[in-house]
Amino acid sequence: MENLLTIKDLSLADIKELLMITEKLKQEKDRELYLKGKSLGMIFAKSSTRTRVSFETGIYQLGGQGIFLSSQDIQLGRGESIADTAKVLSRYIDGVMIRTFDQHEVEKLATASSIPIINGLTDKYHPCQALADLFTIKEKKGKLNELKLAYVGDGNNMAHSLLLAATKVGMDIAVATPQDYAPQNEVVKIAKRFAQQNGSQVELLTDVKEAAKSADVIYTDVWASMGDEDEAEERKLKFADYQVNQEIMDLANEEVIFMHCLPAHRGEEVTADVIDSRQSVVFDQAENRLHLQKGVMVKLMA
Ligand code: CP
Ligand code: NVA
């Protein structure tokens, strides 16, 4: 494992090892030797609260430093090529986390770099979030297989990464989206292949109730992701039936947990009573981004 670009590239052994390192680091008190003197560049072309703060704090706790690079402030934003940026950064620092629009940019950066590249979200994938979510599910349920995750809402970057993450670890996944907002075929095909290899099921649905039936985890995300802002009003109409409310939660298994990568819009994709209920684990989820990403940095940069 040289980079973290998408969960597609990881083996089951990579994922298990990452979750193990994460568990260790979550308990660890003496942790500032792991990445002593190392630097992580953090390129952001989109907003962030969790990813930015958890990576920056994470590398600091491991003895290194994070360097925030708004894509508007570095020469990349004025047309310097990704390849040149990659080659230059490789001479200074020890790893790059990038959040941007196009997944191909992350891949180009990785091809031209001699240092590890970590995908901190693109329009297509959000691997750090989905891996941290596996860690949270394992903490809450004690296992990852023989569980069903129901994802409700937009077939977006989160849906794609959860499809790949769940099927890699043998978890069943049902995805309920409006017809025109289903996850990309290419990703679904890969997830179905993983599911076959690892003994799980993939269901693509338009009926939220059907997806929620006997789920152990109900997961949702915003109706309009970063980059979709101009469609926000139209999406509110199209996604009106794709809200996680108590009625939906009650269709799932008794011990069901509610998950959301955040930021959330109460009253849209989830009701306030659900996200603020005892069934909701969203803040543990947010915390685990810190631990999981420390695991990723140790695995790639130590
Ligand atoms: N979940 C997540 O990635 O949050 P941010 O956009 O705040 O980083
Ligand atoms: N799907 C959301 C996730 C935010 C963490 C977005 O891309 O904006």
Pocket lining: 235 vs ligand 1, CB cutoff 6 Å: no
Cis peptide before 263 (omega within 30 of 0): yes
ipTM: 0.99
Which atom of ligand 1 is closest in space to residue 120's alpha carbon? 3
The whole-angstrom separation of Cα 249 and Cα 213 is: 9
Token representation of residue 158: 């989160």
Short-list 288, 269, 263, 156, CA closest to 208: 269
- For CA atoms 168, 23, 279, 286, the dihedral sign is negative
Cβ of residue 261 lying under 6 Å from some atom of ligand 1 = yes
Q: Is 262 in the pocket of ligand 1 (CB under 6 A)?
A: yes
pLDDT tens across the length of the chain (302 residues): 999 999 999 999 999 999 999 999 999 988 999 999 999 999 999 999 999 999 999 999 999 999 999 999 999 999 999 999 999 999 999 999 999 999 999 999 999 999 999 999 999 999 999 999 999 999 999 999 999 999 999 999 999 999 999 999 999 999 999 999 999 999 999 999 999 999 999 999 999 999 999 999 999 999 999 999 999 999 999 999 999 999 999 999 999 999 999 999 999 999 999 999 999 999 999 999 999 999 999 999 99
Q: Could you tell me the domains of the chain?
A: 12-126+286-301 (3.40.50.1370), 129-283 (3.40.50.1370)
121 belongs to an annotated ligand binding site: no
H or E, element range at 23: helix 12-27
